[in-house]
Amino acid sequence: MSEPTRAEICVAACAEAWRGDGALLASPMGLIPALAARLAQLTFEPGLLVSDGQAYLLAPGMDRVIEGWLPFRLVLRLADAGRRHVMMGASQLDQFGNQNISCIGDWHRPRAQLLGVRGAPCNTINHPTSYWVPRHSPRVFVEHVDMVSGVGYDRAAGLGPRAARFHEVRVVVSNLAVLDFATPDHRMRLRSVHPGVAVSEVVAATGFPLSVPDEVPSTRLPSPAELALIRDVLDPGGRRERELA
């Protein structure tokens, strides 16, 4: 079996975001997060609830067996109770985990209109949230987001303990590294760098000062069993590679 590619390392790193979640609803947005949620369910997190992206729940296993029906009203019920973990994208992220997917530039006259706020405020306040960023650059990792769509740690703290009791920005996985907020003031920290990436490369591609431990480990490689699942079962057409091209 050939060595894992960067895309396959990112799939395994995204899957790790759901480790320990148990019977939470995984809501991956995008190809690599979707592959990662299924990989977690097929390996170390068999109790994870994974939808097909529409209204059905997929059973653990190789055959994509539908094991349940999940209309949107039930998704909202799970979300409101903190029983969901979403992995979203981000056009901008700041050092406290505030996310922007709405517009670039001044709100009154933006340079670019994006998706809009959508469900990001509800997602980030009501249940765990992680992010997948396929192109790590200072344009994404910014000192201040142009508009807050997803709520970061500094803003959540201002809401008080009751309103933010389910708030958790767990990890950010990019094409270069894995980052988290395990610092005293919840500023973004470099957790690991992907094989072949230097710490200095991640620092240079980030538009704010990162918290960098004295020793930064390498992101773990997917196991042979995980690689077989990714290549032969989950994505035999290799679409994952195009996401990082």
Q: List the domain boundaries for the chain.
A: 6-243
Written as six digits, the tokens of 181 are 């907020």
Q: CA–CA separation, 193 vs 183, rounded Å?
A: 18
Which segments within the chain are labelled E, that is strand?
25-28, 49-51, 56-58, 66-69, 84-88, 92-93, 99-100, 103-104, 112-113, 128-133, 168-174, 177-180, 189-193
Q: CA–CA separation, 216 vs 239, rounded Å?
A: 30
The per-residue pLDDT for 61 is 67
Q: CA–CA separation, 122 vs 26, rounded Å?
A: 15
Q: What is the pTM of this model?
A: 0.93
Q: Among 135, 76, 129, which residue's Cα sits nearest to residue 98?
A: 129
The per-residue pLDDT for 62 is 63
CATH, domain range 6-243: 3.40.1080.10
Q: What is the pLDDT along the chain (245 residues), one digit of tens a residue?
A: 799 999 999 999 999 999 999 988 898 999 999 999 999 999 999 999 888 767 778 777 666 778 888 777 777 777 777 788 999 999 999 999 999 999 899 888 889 888 888 888 888 888 899 999 999 999 999 999 999 999 999 999 888 887 788 889 999 999 999 999 999 999 999 999 999 999 999 999 999 999 999 999 999 999 999 999 999 999 999 999 999 87
Contacts of 72 (CB under 8 A, 6+ apart): 55
Q: Is the dihedral of CA 73, 78, 84, 89 positive or negative?
A: positive
User: What CA–CA distances, in Å, run from 1 to 13, 39, 62, 224, 231?
Assistant: 20, 18, 20, 8, 10
Written as six digits, the tokens of 58 are 């997929």
Written as six digits, the tokens of 232 are 């032969």
